Amino acid sequence: MSLLVTGSIGIDTVKTPYGYSEKCIGGSAVHFSMAAAIFTPVRFVGAVGEDCPFDLAQAFEGRQVDLAGLEIRKGSRTFRWIGSYEGDMNEARTDAVELNVLSEQPPKVPDAFKDSDFVFLANTAPALQIELLDQLNSPSFVAADTMNHWIVTAKDDLMNLLDRIDMLIINEGEAKLLTGQRNLMLAAKDILELGPKVVIIKKGEYGSMMSDKDGDLFILPAFPTTVVIDPTGAGDSFAGAMMGYLAKASKVDFSSLRKAMVAGTVAASFTIGDFSIHGIKAATPADIDERSDQLRKVTQF
């Protein structure tokens, strides 16, 4: 089934204990698409300014990513993010950010994309996520991401969004902030009561947890890796591989969701192995299968 993503394209500058990457390609939609397209073709919707130095068609070479929904806006500037990581690198520190084009109206969804079956609304203002969702016909499965900033500053809009999506993917800190719960099981229960049928809570190096409205629960550790060079985009790659797997499978039951989480976890393990998109871009379907088998072996008992 068709898969559409809408989110950011960014000019990132990242510093980690392993080095410094200046003005590299980033953004939620970019990392998502690079992972999702390992499994299925992706319909890409996003906007950049005239100053964007990247050739996205070249960046996605070898991946099935349809850029018909990419807007290059005259007079606008591309989203920019400067961030750094220290210690265990579980949390990024934002040193500077320029929303630029992300503070403007959302991009238009091309007519040819409006019949998309699977949709991922990557992290941006909930009001914009809703506007983008309103442009689509009748998707069969919608997932979304959010962040602390929107939970604090746009909670009403976020509540409206949660009532319209099928799955929410957030991290541990966001789940606790959104619900006021310290226990993740209780936090997941509260989130499901807000509308989504499925919630996935990411726990960084400790893996992820999935819960659904039927009371099913699945907990998966992170892929065991010894080197983390740059965690930027790992969560978006996780979501991309998950949604790509589900779109390829053309179904969403708990068994498919479990397998999709494995795909997402493995994709994230490639992303953190290099700066920018280089780690996930180098990953092949065979690489994903190999690490999935490794993860399966270390989690069976």
pLDDT score of 226: 87
Cβ atoms 127, 153 nearer than 8 A: no
Determine contact, residues 192/211, Cβ cutoff 8 Å.
yes
Q: What is the pTM of this model?
A: 0.94
The pLDDT assigned to 120 comes to: 98
3-299 classified as CATH 3.90.110.10 = no
Cβ(204)–Cβ(237) under 8 Å?
Answer: no
Backbone angles phi, psi at 71, to 5 degrees: -110, 135
pLDDT at 182: 95
Reading the chain (301 residues) residue by residue, the pLDDT tens digits are 899 999 999 999 999 999 999 999 999 999 999 999 999 999 999 999 999 999 999 999 999 999 999 999 999 999 999 999 988 787 788 899 899 998 899 999 999 999 999 999 998 889 989 999 999 999 999 999 998 888 999 999 999 999 999 999 999 999 999 999 999 999 999 999 999 999 999 998 889 999 999 999 999 999 999 889 999 999 999 999 999 999 999 999 999 999 999 999 999 999 999 999 999 999 999 999 999 999 999 998 8
Question: pLDDT value at position 89?
Answer: 83
Q: Which residues pair with 26 in a beta bridge?
A: 10
The two tokens of residue 196 are: 């989504």
pLDDT of residue 125: 86
Hey, what are 300's tokens?
């069976």
pLDDT at 205: 84
Give the chain's end-to-end CA distance (angstroms, integer).
Answer: 34
